[in-house]
Amino acid sequence: MTASRRSKLRLFACLSVAAAGGAAAALAPAGPAAAQVVQTAPATDPGLYLDIERLERQLSVQSAKLAEQSDLLARQAAALDAQQARLEAQERMLQRLTGTGPDELAALRGTGPAPAGAAAPPSTPPGATPNAAPDAPPGGPVGEAPPPPEVRVETAALPEGSGVLTQRGRIVLDPSLDYTHTTANRLVFRGIELVPGVQLGAIDASDSDRSATVATLAARYGLTDRIELEARVPYMRRSDRINVVQQREGTVTREILLEKSRLADIEFTGRYQINRARPGRPVFVANLRVKTDTGSNPYDIPRDEYGIATALATGSGFWGVEPSLSFLFPTDPVVIYGSVGYFAHLPRDINRVVGDVPIGRVDPGDSLAAGIGFGVALNERFSFSLGFKLNYIYATSTQLGTTTQWSKPLQVGSFQFGGSYVLSPRTVLTAGFEMGATADAPDVRFVIRAPTRF
């Protein structure tokens, strides 16, 4: 306490004592006894100075407490400002990647207006915190920043199946067109080579161009904020051109043209978001995909007397199950993604004769898949992604008569590049490219999609 304030308190105490003395003199009876009483009263009370010192100490303690509380409130305000800045940066990144407006982002986090027909939340008195204890301070204990709200991360430019889940109660229709082209050249020599360039025997050479176009209608439904269901119905058109040159006593050249259009294998997928989306933390999603055998079976297509197919199959002919785990890690302005999965085919007994060879039990090779990449938003409407994926396909076992034959394992690796453009707040146009990086991979693949939210 300052000296001027201490002097004012003492002056106030003296004036109070003087006033009390004057009141006592006025109320005292006249006469010598009264005068004696007045004269014997002390001019000041020593206990009053003790009270002033005690008040000064209490005021000093209260001032220290107020200063401490002010410091805690300042630190809490700084933490809230920093958290708000991170959330605003996250929202800007999401809007650039998906074209989602601020109102829809707020609804996704549960802070915006409720959908039509939804029950209104219970009213809360002004200044009170919902679902909080009566004596609990707003935002938690003093000096502790409140937990950040959950942030939904959506990425349109990432490859299909790498994004997070559809909002609860929403439906996403995702039509797509997929084109794949593969070329292969093979030279087979059966005989002996006397000297380099002089060969005795038979030579078979083949040049094949295979293309497949798949039109798919996919629908995703958000069962809850963490569970999504998806169904995919593909329709495939295949076209193969094979040139075969055989050199024996003479040269024989043959060209084979095959085409087929039919429903392919329908797929069903369920996804579950394991953890909540928080700034600075990855989001993990567990997936389970089931592939049917609705497409035409490669063992049911017609063949000639040599066992060579005269038609094309649009399906694998086997059921399959694929559990997988994917993650998304947003760090403005980049979203890192990755996945790992294992696709298991269910074996079956064919029990057919192809050519003159009986085929028994067939166990298609399972596959192990992994991929990683990142997506970047360049502005509010356009974003792109880069990535790489690799599939290791195990050997297929086929029972031919009384023997079992094994195929060789395959490694299918490809580089991925994708871009997306926001057409409207509900529709995004996405294009993806894949270029083969291994000998077993298709040469090129192009996918165009237009997912629309309802």
Per-residue pLDDT tens digits for 61-91: 888 888 888 888 888 888 888 888 877 776 6
Across 13-27, 243-257, 365-379, the highest mean pLDDT is recorded for 365-379
Residue 417 is predicted with a pLDDT of 93
Task: Please check whether residue 38 is in contact with residue 22, taking contact to mean a CB–CB distance below 8 angstroms.
Answer: no
pLDDT range class, residue 45, cuts 50, 70, 90? low
Residue 118 is predicted with a pLDDT of 41
Q: What is the rounded radius of gyration, in angstroms, for the C-alpha atoms of the chain? A: 40
Residue 23 is predicted with a pLDDT of 43
Assigned token pair, 265 = 């294998």
Whether residue 128 has pLDDT greater than 60: no
pLDDT range class, residue 176, cuts 50, 70, 90? very high
* Residue linked to tokens 């038609």: 311
Give the mean pLDDT of the chain: 76
pLDDT range class, residue 188, cuts 50, 70, 90? low
Residue 133 is predicted with a pLDDT of 40
pLDDT range class, residue 124, cuts 50, 70, 90? very low
Residue 63 is predicted with a pLDDT of 85
Whether residue 159 has pLDDT greater than 50: yes
Residue 327 is predicted with a pLDDT of 93
Q: What is the C-alpha separation between 354 and 313, in angstroms, rounded?
A: 15
The residues pairing with 380 across neighbouring beta strands, listed in sequence order, are none
Per-residue pLDDT tens digits for 204-261: 567 788 999 999 999 999 999 899 999 999 999 999 988 777 665 566 677 888 899 9
**Of 299, 316, 301, 312, the residue nearest 256 (C-alpha):** 312
pLDDT range class, residue 114, cuts 50, 70, 90? very low
Residue 155 is predicted with a pLDDT of 52
The residues pairing with 206 across neighbouring beta strands, listed in sequence order, are 186, 244
Q: What percent of the chain stands above pLDDT 70?
A: 66
pLDDT range class, residue 446, cuts 50, 70, 90? very high
Order across the sheet with 357-363: list the strands. 348-354, 357-363, 397-400, 403-406
pLDDT higher at 97 or 239: 239
Q: What is the C-alpha separation between 429 and 432, in angstroms, rounded?
A: 10
Residue 378 is predicted with a pLDDT of 87
Per-residue pLDDT tens digits for 386-430: 999 999 999 999 998 889 999 999 999 999 999 999 999 899 999
Amino acid occupying residue 370: A
pLDDT higher at 58 or 385: 385
Q: What is the C-alpha separation between 182 and 121, in angstroms, rounded?
A: 57
Q: What is the mean pLDDT of residues 93-113?
A: 51
Sign of the C-alpha dihedral, residues 79, 85, 90, 94? positive
Q: What is the mean pLDDT of residues 356-366?
A: 89
Residue 353 is predicted with a pLDDT of 84
Residue 449 is predicted with a pLDDT of 94
Distances (CA, A) of 163 to 144, 200, 328, 330, 339: 33, 58, 7, 11, 11
pLDDT higher at 180 or 37: 180
Per-residue pLDDT tens digits for 288-318: 999 999 998 888 888 776 667 788 899 989 9
Residue 110 is predicted with a pLDDT of 43
Whether residue 123 has pLDDT greater than 60: no
Q: What is the mean pLDDT of residues 180-198?
A: 63
Residue 119 is predicted with a pLDDT of 43
Q: Which residues contact 232 (CB under 8 A, 6 or more apart)?
A: 216, 217, 218, 266, 267, 268, 269
Residue 286 is predicted with a pLDDT of 95
Full-prediction pTM beyond 0.75? Answer: no
Residue 88 is predicted with a pLDDT of 76
Whether residue 147 has pLDDT greater than 60: no
